[in-house]
Structure 1
Amino acid sequence: MGKIEKTGYLGTLIALMSLILMSCNTANKHNKTIIIANPSNVKRAEVASIPFQAFKQAYNHSNAFKIIDEQGKECSYQLEKLGTDSIANVLIWVEIPANSEVQLTVDKGEPAKVRAKTFARYVPERFDDFAWENDKIAFRMYGKALEGRPDDAQGTDIWAKRTDALVVDEWYKTGDYHKDHGKGLDYYSVGMTLGAGDIAPFVKDRIIYSKHYRQHEILDNGPLRSTFKLTFEPWDVGGKAVSVTKTITLDAGSQLNKVEVVYDYDGEEALPVVAGIVLRDEAGETIEKAEQGLMAYWEPTHGADGTLGVGVLTAEPVKKSFKAEGQLLSLLSASKGKPLIYYNGGAWDKAGNITSAKAWEEYLLQYQHNLKNPLKVSIK
């Protein structure tokens, strides 16, 4: 009887172990790892993107989930929808040492609340401004209500920040943003120029400005990426009606916007356009590297307000860079209905991160290197 009991016990134990192994194998099958590799020789801190369909196939977390790093810490993430009701991408904030990778896991459960690092909004209370910002810098473009006023301006404006807090709502509420109270200020002068990297057609050696934007659409609004679209009504460009949409994306941690411009007009010929940076009467430092797709300006110091660097870059070389109409210009070519992508932005020395023309140029060149060598994302 004892021998029979022992045999039964062993059989039960073997069956139990088999079930445990099967359970572990099943868990491992569903417990895949997100691997994000940095191919660069410098540390990267930026937003990584995973197509949601790939994420959904790997994980059966259709509702709430957490993304966990190797130290057991939650990673901030955003579900990017690109202006639709469906999720397009999972955006994850990562910091990866040079030539290294991070491995992330996904667990079910409500994620921790993420502090917003990007923000964009229409500002009807200030003549139809559209303003946007991240934890580094802020910008705005001008709307219809400003047209024809004595204080009218044309291109992209920069607000200098030295805080990682979001300030747009606060500054518009107080109206007191032309003096630095510890977080920064707006002292950048745009005037009737392209300002800090706006774009316009260039015909017969002349910039042909549009009117201000007419419609706006916010596609995503933080916490890690804000994207919006501005639509401009047709205007006359050398006897031809031209319209344009500008889709602008700003990520957390970035000094630069991604700008996607689509022109529409009759005909199939290319449209010459320029991205521009307004120059000052006082001496500043210009950086012109058309063969590298880089154009930048380290402004003259503005008294106690400090110094702003402004930059425009493309992933590929531009036709040429040159000075005209009091601006530094990069000549590009747009095709009807096809996105033209470039990057613009700025840095303020009083923020303490980029404090010289050389450092600004190095940042822009590294940014361009990162564009050509994106983080490599896989799920295994």
Structure 2
Amino acid sequence: MRVFIVLSILTALVTESVAQNATIRITNPGATSLKQTVVEIPWKTVKAAYAQVDTAMLQVVQTETGQEVAYQLEHRGEKEIKNLLVQVSIDPKQTIRLALRRGKPAPVEPKTYCRYVPERYDDFAWENDRVAFRIYGAALNGRSDNAYGSDIWAKRTDALILNKWYKQNDYHKDHGEGLDYYHVGLTLGAGDIGVFLNDSIQYIHNYRNWSVLDNGPLRSTFRVTYDPYMFNGITVKETKTISLDAGSQLSKIQVHVDHDAPRNLPMVVGITLRKEQSPLLLDEKNGVLGYWEPTHGKDGTIGVGCVFPASPVSMLRKYEHGLAKLTVKSHADMVYYNGGAWDKAGLITSSEAWFDYLHEFANQLKKPLIIQAGK
């Protein structure tokens, strides 16, 4: 009997010790307050804090509030878990603690989604609780309604609407949730990338193949590849990995480029400009390209922007685009962010507010969160 009691006490002490040490600290070193942002915690950090982690029975609790935290296990298209994604708020200079414990997690409502759209000429579309986007597939090549760049849909609901809008096939009218009125055409649209040779934009046309790597609830990620194209005797092949987090106005764009240029390949990321005068931000020092479009009648106003982590970036206004000039080695990657906001969504309603958002996003990239295992 005594042995049983002693073993029970030891088991309780070990369990308590594991529970106390199964903690992740997240510190915000910057001056920007992060509201319901998705934080990426490497899985090796989770294992260091909680070696006995059972992914089928895992709860994440913010110790300061005692509230369970929504999370996602990110795989990046592979069997093994790469990251634990959590959605939390952190004030400047604040540290929060997440306790990892055994228990059945509460269901998480999907806030992001992506899919291939074969019923609409190979579109690939993605969205979160703020915005929606699409790019165009090979089925549009050669058609009179072809388009090259990125498209943005104006949403004013936190519901996921892609399937509904495509099914209704009436998304150019606002029925209370938003609409698609942004015009792309044969441009870079809302922040796409092209080759820049002989002082002109060379378009890479439309994607050929796709694969979904993760699909919510907090982050959706997919990959698209493009046919090789030859520009001035230089062959260029491009692959994009695109992800969108819940609560963000911007997608992360990772571009892998293979080319046979003798030196680094000049490229540009661009935003198409309208004929009417409207605010354009070319902040080379901080790597922020922003545009607040002219109001589109009763449809309202869209802001479009790009953020470049590797700043400073040379920028210019040319060929009816706001452009950021980049160079890339062959077999190399580059990363930038693009996206937008719609004033009728009620969150960002002016050029000043939009440019502030882009600058805050850039500042956050320069001072990333510090993530550590242990108390």
The answer to whether the superposition gives a TM-score over 0.5 is yes
Question: Is 2:36 the partner of 1:42?
Answer: no
- The equivalent residue for 2:53 is 61
Q: Give the secondary-structure state (helix, strand or coil) at the position aligned to 1:353.
A: coil
- The equivalent residue for 1:72 is 66
- The equivalent residue for 2:159 is 165
Could you tell me which amino acid in structure 2 is paired with residue 184 of structure 1?
Answer: G
Spell out the pairing of 1:1-380 with structure 2 (5 A cutoff): 22-23=10-11, 25-31=13-19, 32-45=22-35, 46-59=37-50, 60-62=52-54, 63-70=56-63, 71-267=65-261, 269-380=263-374
Q: What is the alpha-carbon root mean square deviation over aligned residues?
A: 1.7
Could you tell me which amino acid in structure 2 is paired with residue 367 of structure 1?
Answer: F
Could you tell me which amino acid in structure 2 is paired with residue 26 of structure 1?
Answer: V
State which drifts further: 120-129 or 369-378: 369-378
In the TM superposition, what is the alpha-carbon distance from 1:43 to its structure 2 partner?
A: 2.1
Q: Who wins on radius of gyration, i.e. which is larger? A: 1
Could you tell me how far apart the structure 2 residues matched to 1:345 and 1:291 are? Answer: 20
The 1:353/1:103 distance shift into structure 2, 3 A limit, reads same
Could you tell me how far apart the structure 2 residues matched to 1:252 and 1:180 are? Answer: 23
State which drifts further: 259-268 or 249-258: 259-268
Could you tell me which amino acid in structure 1 is paired with residue 15 of structure 2?
Answer: A
Could you tell me how far apart the structure 2 residues matched to 1:172 and 1:205 are? Answer: 38
Percent identical: 47
2:24–2:49 CA contact under 8 A, matched in 1: no
> Which structure 1 residue ranges, 5 or more long, are not aligned?
1-11
- The equivalent residue for 1:7 is none
Could you tell me how far apart the structure 1 residues matched to 2:208 and 2:4 are? Answer: 69
In the TM superposition, what is the alpha-carbon distance from 1:94 to its structure 2 partner?
A: 0.8
Q: Give the secondary-structure state (helix, strand or coil) at the position aligned to 2:68.
A: coil
> Which structure 2 residue ranges, 5 or more long, are not aligned?
none
Structure 2 length-normalised TM: 0.94
Q: Give the secondary-structure state (helix, strand or coil) at the position aligned to 1:40.
A: coil
1:318–1:330 CA contact under 8 A, matched in 2: no
Q: Give the secondary-structure state (helix, strand or coil) at the position aligned to 2:29.
A: coil
Q: Give the secondary-structure state (helix, strand or coil) at the position aligned to 2:207.
A: coil
Q: Give the secondary-structure state (helix, strand or coil) at the position aligned to 1:105.
A: strand
Could you tell me how far apart the structure 1 residues matched to 2:319 and 2:48 are? Answer: 54
In the TM superposition, what is the alpha-carbon distance from 1:230 to its structure 2 partner?
A: 0.8
Could you tell me how far apart the structure 2 residues matched to 1:21 and 1:34 are? Answer: 26
In the TM superposition, what is the alpha-carbon distance from 1:319 to its structure 2 partner?
A: 4.2
- Number of residue-to-residue matches in the alignment: 367
In the TM superposition, what is the alpha-carbon distance from 1:57 to its structure 2 partner?
A: 3.5
2:69–2:86 CA contact under 8 A, matched in 1: yes
1:296-326 deviation line (CA, Å, top 9, x unaligned): 1100000111110000111132442112221
2:154–2:342 CA contact under 8 A, matched in 1: yes
Could you tell me which amino acid in structure 2 is paired with residue 327 of structure 1?
Answer: H
In the TM superposition, what is the alpha-carbon distance from 1:191 to its structure 2 partner?
A: 1.0
Structure 1 length-normalised TM: 0.93
In the TM superposition, what is the alpha-carbon distance from 1:26 to its structure 2 partner?
A: 1.7
- The equivalent residue for 1:8 is none
Q: Give the secondary-structure state (helix, strand or coil) at the position aligned to 2:87.
A: strand
In the TM superposition, what is the alpha-carbon distance from 1:21 to its structure 2 partner?
A: 6.6
Could you tell me how far apart the structure 1 residues matched to 2:308 and 2:351 are? Answer: 19
